[in-house]
């Protein structure tokens, strides 16, 4: 018997049988970089603007762009391409750091990108050298394994998973879960479940330690939960369900990101909120229209449809949020 958190970690990240070792892009869901390069174009513009701000404030370099959860390296390739085309100053001087727990994906990405940029890779964020710049993640936090709580007979328990996939309830596996259980208990109905993402808080603490001065850009689906229940779900062939322990390794398991938790934990760590908005607004304000193709040919129409999915409230535009937090260097360090 194991906690749901450990089951989810194995189901997603086992190097041979985990979902991410098997995933075929776009088969079960789309990520923003898979939809259209315009996403990377706007993001590159935002990153360049943030690096300009650090330079103008006299923060000593060199600067790095650290992409956490870089996966196949597709976003990195498109970001670097956009920087070379539009912001050559940064393309030529910045160090691009990939962090990806899959050694195979990391090696392939570094080899593919190293000929055109200063690229290094690590399988663990702990290995990254501290420094100034931008720490970036896209759809990373929603994939952290979560502890799962369930209300039964008026009390809150943790969900455990047997080898067969059958779930059962027992006491909390860690004392640090107790404050979250006590906070969410009044909001849960009988039989309702709630995900607690302790990994997200540990991750943000580590990011805060690695970032000497600069920005943390978190792009993911979720919202400011304000104490509302957050049950995890699965994605398979663009449909969702709550049968979390069926089809282990063949379905994505995920929980929406509680941006309230990231904001409050960030404040405790000295990270201030510079921006929080929907992905649609972020892309429009970032000038995504500059990347829209003109014409009425099939390719142009298809591309505009893909960009519409990024912007539309019923697509990714409203469900995804962009949180930008800032860490300022002490005056003595500038």
Confidence check: pLDDT of 252 > 60? yes
Range scoring the smallest mean pLDDT among 4-13, 25-34, 281-290: 25-34
As assigned by CATH, the class of the 2-327 domain is alpha beta
DSSP result, 102-160: -HHHHHHHHHHHTTTSEEEEESSGGGSPPEEEEEEEES-GGGS--EEEEEETTEEEEEE
Determine what percent of the chain is predicted with pLDDT higher than 70.
91
Closest CA to 194 of 149, 235, 163: 149
Q: In this predicted structure, which of 73-77, 173-177, 288-292 has the lowest mean pLDDT?
A: 288-292
Q: Is the omega angle on the peptide bond into residue 62 within 30 degrees of 0, that is, cis?
A: yes
Which residues lie below 8 Å from residue 84, measured CB to CB, with a gap of 6+?
Answer: 91, 116
Say what the pLDDT of residue 30 is.
62
- Residue 319, classed as helix, strand or coil, is helix
Q: Strand, coil or helix: what is 14?
A: coil
Could you tell me which residue, 292 or 272, shows the higher pLDDT?
Answer: 272
293: pLDDT strictly greater than 80: no
pLDDT tier, 114 (very low <50, low <70, confident <90, very high otherwise): confident
More confident residue, 36 or 61: 61
- DSSP three-state, residue 238: coil
In this structure, are residues 10 and 18 in contact, taking their beta carbons and an 8 Å threshold? Answer: yes
Cα angle 112, 118, 123; round to 5: 65
Query: What's the CA gap between 218 and 262, in Å, rounded?
Result: 9
For residue range 223-234, list pLDDT tens digits in order: 999 889 999 999
pLDDT bin (cut points 50, 70, 90) of residue 297 is low
Instruction: Of 102-116, 170-184, 264-278, give the lowest mean pLDDT range.
Output: 102-116
Mean pLDDT computed over 83-93: 93
Tell me the mean pLDDT in the region 28-53: 86
pLDDT at 321: 97
Average of pLDDT values for 14-20? 86
Average pLDDT over residues 274-280: 96
Six-digit token pair at 117?
A: 């940029």
By percentage, how much of the chain surpasses pLDDT 90? Answer: 70
- Report the pLDDT averaged over residues 76-93: 94
Predicted pLDDT at 20: 85
Quick check: 151 pLDDT over 70? yes
User: pTM for this structure?
Assistant: 0.92
**Mean local confidence (pLDDT), 38-44:** 93
262 vs 317, which has greater pLDDT?
Answer: 262
State how beta strands 131-138 and 64-68 pair: parallel
| Residue 103: Cβ within 10 Å count | 11
Domain boundaries, the chain: 2-327
């Amino acid at each position: 018997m194991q906690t749901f958190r450990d089951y989810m970690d194995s189901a997603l990240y086992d190097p041979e049988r985990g979902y991410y070792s098997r995933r075929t892009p776009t088969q079960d869901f789309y990520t923003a970089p898979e939809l259209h390069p315009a996403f990377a174009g706007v993001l590159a513009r935002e990153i360049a603007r943030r690096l300009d701000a650090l330079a103008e404030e006299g923060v000593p370099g060199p600067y790095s762009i650290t992409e956490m959860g870089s996966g196949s390296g597709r976003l990195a390739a498109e970001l670097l391409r956009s920087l070379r085309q539009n912001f050559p100053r940064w393309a030529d001087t910045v160090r691009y750091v990939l962090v990806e727990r899959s050694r195979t994906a990391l090696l392939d990405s570094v080899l593919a990108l190293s000929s055109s940029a200063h690229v290094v890779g690590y399988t663990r964020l702990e290995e990254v050298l501290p420094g100034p710049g931008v720490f970036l993640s896209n759809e990373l936090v929603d994939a952290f394994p979560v502890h799962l709580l369930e209300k039964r007979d008026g009390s809150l328990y943790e969900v455990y998973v047997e080898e067969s996939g059958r779930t059962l309830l027992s006491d909390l596996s860690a004392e640090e879960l107790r404050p979250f259980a006590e906070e969410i208990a009044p909001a849960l109905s009988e039989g309702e479940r709630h995900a607690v993402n302790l990994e997200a808080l540990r991750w943000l603490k580590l990011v805060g330690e690695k970032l000497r001065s600069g920005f943390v850009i978190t792009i993911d689906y979720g919202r400011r939960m304000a104490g509302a229940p957050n049950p995890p779900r699965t994605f398979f062939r663009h449909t969702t369900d709550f049968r979390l322990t069926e089809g282990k390794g063949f379905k994505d398991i995920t929980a929406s990101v509680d941006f309230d938790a990231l904001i409050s934990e960030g404040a405790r760590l000295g990270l201030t909120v510079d921006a929080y908005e929907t992905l649609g607004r972020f892309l429009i304000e970032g000038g995504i229209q500059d990347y829209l193709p003109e014409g009425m040919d099939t390719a142009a129409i298809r591309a505009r449809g893909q960009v519409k999915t990024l912007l539309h409230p019923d697509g990714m535009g409203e469900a995804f949020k962009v949180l930008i937090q800032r860490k300022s260097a002490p005056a003595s360090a500038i």
